[in-house]
Amino acid sequence: SRERYLRSVLRELVTYMIFLVVLCVLTYGTVSSSMYYYTRVMSQLFLETPVSKMEKTDFKTLSTMDDFWKFTEGPLLDGLYWEIWYNNKTVAENKSFIYYENLLLGVPRIRQLKVRNGSCSIPEDLKDEIKDCYDVYSVANEDTAPFGLRNGTAWTYTNEKDLNGSSHWGLIATYSGAGYYQDLSRTREVTAVQIASLKKNLWLDRGTRAAFIDFSVYNANINLFCVVRLLVEFPATGGLVTSWQFQPVRLIHYISTFDFFLAACEMAFCLFVLYYMVEEILEIHIHRLHYFRSLWNCLDILIIVLSVVAIGISIYRTSTVDVLLKKLLEDQNSFPNFEPLAYWQMQFNNIAAVTVFFVWIKLFKFVNFNRTMSQLSTTMSRCVKDVIGFAIMFFIIFLAYAQLAYLVFGTQIDDFSTFQDCIFTQFRIILGDFNFTEVEEANRILGPIYFTTFVFFMFFILLNMFLAIINDTYSEVKSDMAQQKAEMELSDLIRKGYNKAMIKLKLKKTTVDDISESLRQGGGKLNFDELRQDLKGKGHTDAEIEAIFTKYDQDGDQELTE
């Protein structure tokens, strides 16, 4: 029956809501506002501090190799080594605590990647004028030969495997985890000498394409690590481009009471994943390929897969951090490579966020048992074909304009410098966020024509077509559902159960009142026959009277007293 089916759905909804609460507690319990403030203070220290008192240049606005060395000799050293208090007293234990709160773990590392001379072709007409040529960075063009002093890791190439490195996606290229590196020191004086030596012996040259500055800090007050990477890219055009990563991660778990509560939630989450996995396997076994025809079933599989991957990453992260910290404690003058751990922690955060998103989306499956929400979901399913046809037409026009913008404005406007940027910039135009002056200055003729026609087609034609498709389909669905026979909804079942519960509570209260009144009339004492006769007159059945008497006659003497 419909009611039996809805009862089954309600049980499933209750179980799913418990799963959702556990998942939300887990995901939100590992994130706090402290992470934002941690990132902010660390980024302000290294990104916004001027290279000198006489210059306003900071890390974000570096433009030459000379600026890079000014940064390393100034803000970098000042930021890494807090060895003296403001009253000139030395910090206890001679350790560096950034902001006096964040312990610098091990030593920082500077690493660079180079390309070979002759890695690009020089036109025949200019060979007499140009002798050297350094191509844009790629693994194939990477220089691996010793250079400069030709001794030590700063002047000899080390491969990615030996460095335990990984590739990094920069603004200009994707860089390998290999290169020439210099591990700095735990003291400011020695590090200053190391940097001065690199600068004096021309460690950076025309072949340099990227320089990485890596270090990690730990704040015990909030139990957070911050894995920092500052990247300076040297494009083949000259100059440099800066980017950065500040990744606050919680790598040490199970310390506070709340951590152990989260551990219990983790165990509950694993049990839920196992339960749903078995459930889906049984459904696939019963329904075979028909199982995959339902969008909700596919969503269930996706949620389970994401959950299993998140559990695997969590286990790997927890087991690996212990090994890394043990090595760091054994040799505090080594570089602790927390970058892979930070990477996997960020992937865990991303997967957890996507999982939470899809788990919330699945609630629509249960909301569909409401008539109003069913209208919305039916509207979306009916207009799919029309929307797909509209999307094809929309993107033909949209990509045509993106190509036009890239070719016309790509060399002059940052927002159109790549085809990908053109696509996102046009979405911003649709939302009304756009600088028309830049386009007009780039091309006084094609700029206004591009902007005017794009807005006309997007806003006044295509957007209205999309709304018309949705409105027409919704009207049809609403008309069809008005002609259908009304069925019992999930909200009706909940309301029915609520009313039954309230009636039982009310009857219970009425029965107690009737017994009290009978006792008062009988002088504070009643036997079974007297109570039966009294309650019979007030509409109670024999079964109810017997059950009541049995409940309240605790001494079994067949009499009730006040």
**Residue 518 sits in a domain of what CATH number?**
1.10.238.10
| Average pLDDT score over residue span 323-349 | 84
pLDDT tens by residue, 87-105: 877 776 667 789 989 999 9
Determine which of 228-242, 324-338, 538-552 has the lowest per-residue pLDDT on average: 538-552
Residue 552 sits in which domain range? 490-561
Nearest to 547 by CA among 504, 505, 511: 511
Map residue 334 onto helix, strand or coil.
coil
Residues 114, 204, single domain; the answer is yes
Residues 147, 56, single domain; the answer is yes
Residues 41, 140, single domain; the answer is yes
Residues 330, 388, single domain; the answer is no
Q: What is the pLDDT of residue 408?
A: 94
Residue 372 lies in a domain: no
Q: What are the contacts of 48-54 at 24+ separation with CB within 8 A?
A: 49/74, 49/75, 49/78, 49/79, 50/75, 51/75
| Average pLDDT score over residue span 317-333 | 80
Residue 109's beta-bridge partner residues? 183, 214
Number of domains composing the chain:
4
Map residue 472 onto helix, strand or coil.
helix
Residues 161, 119, single domain; the answer is yes
Please count the CA atoms within 13 angstroms of the CA of 399 that sit on its side-chain side: 6
pLDDT tens by residue, 460-475: 899 899 999 999 998 8
Residues 508, 537, single domain; the answer is yes
Distances (CA, A) of 136 to 158, 170, 229, 231: 20, 13, 22, 16
pLDDT grade for 532, boundaries at 50, 70 and 90: low
| Average pLDDT score over residue span 527-534 | 65
Residue that wins the pLDDT comparison between 208 and 559: 208
Q: What is the pLDDT of residue 544?
A: 62
CB-CB contact of 525 with 559 (8 Å):
yes
| Average pLDDT score over residue span 396-408 | 95
Residue 88 lies in a domain: yes
- Which residues lie closer than 8 Å to 74 by C-beta, 6 or more apart? 49, 51, 52
**CATH for 431:** 1.10.287.70
What is the torsion angle, in degrees rounded to the nearest 10, for the CA atoms of residue 370, residue 372, residue 375 and residue 381?
Answer: -60
Share of the chain above pLDDT 70, in %: 84
- Burial code (b: 16+ CB inside 10 Å, e: under 16) for 502-541 equals eeeeeeeeebeebbeebbeebeeebeeebbbebbeeeebe
| Average pLDDT score over residue span 507-525 | 60
Map residue 401 onto helix, strand or coil.
helix
Residue 296 lies in a domain: yes
Q: What is the pLDDT of residue 231?
A: 97
Residue 232's beta-bridge partner residues? 211, 242
Distance CA 274, CA 314 (A): 16
pLDDT tens by residue, 45-80: 999 999 988 889 999 999 999 999 999 999 999 999
Residue that wins the pLDDT comparison between 499 and 239: 239
For residue 535, give the H/E element and its range: helix 528-536
Global confidence as pTM: 0.79
- Which residues lie closer than 8 Å to 427 by C-beta, 6 or more apart? none
pLDDT grade for 32, boundaries at 50, 70 and 90: confident
pLDDT tens by residue, 375-389: 887 888 888 889 999
Residues 466, 524, single domain; the answer is no
Last residue of a domain, one of 441, 456, 483: 483
Q: What is 484-513 written as a DSSP string?
A: SPP---HHHHHHHHHHHHHHHHHHHHHHHH
Instruction: Please report where in the chains the tokens 């306003």 appear, as a residue.
Output: 56
Residues 549, 497, single domain; the answer is yes
Q: What is the pLDDT of residue 513?
A: 60
Q: Which residue positions form the known binding site for Ca(2+)?
A: 553, 555, 557, 559
Residues 528, 551, single domain; the answer is yes
Return mean pLDDT, the chain.
86
Residues 427, 318, single domain; the answer is no
Last residue of a domain, one of 228, 249, 270: 249
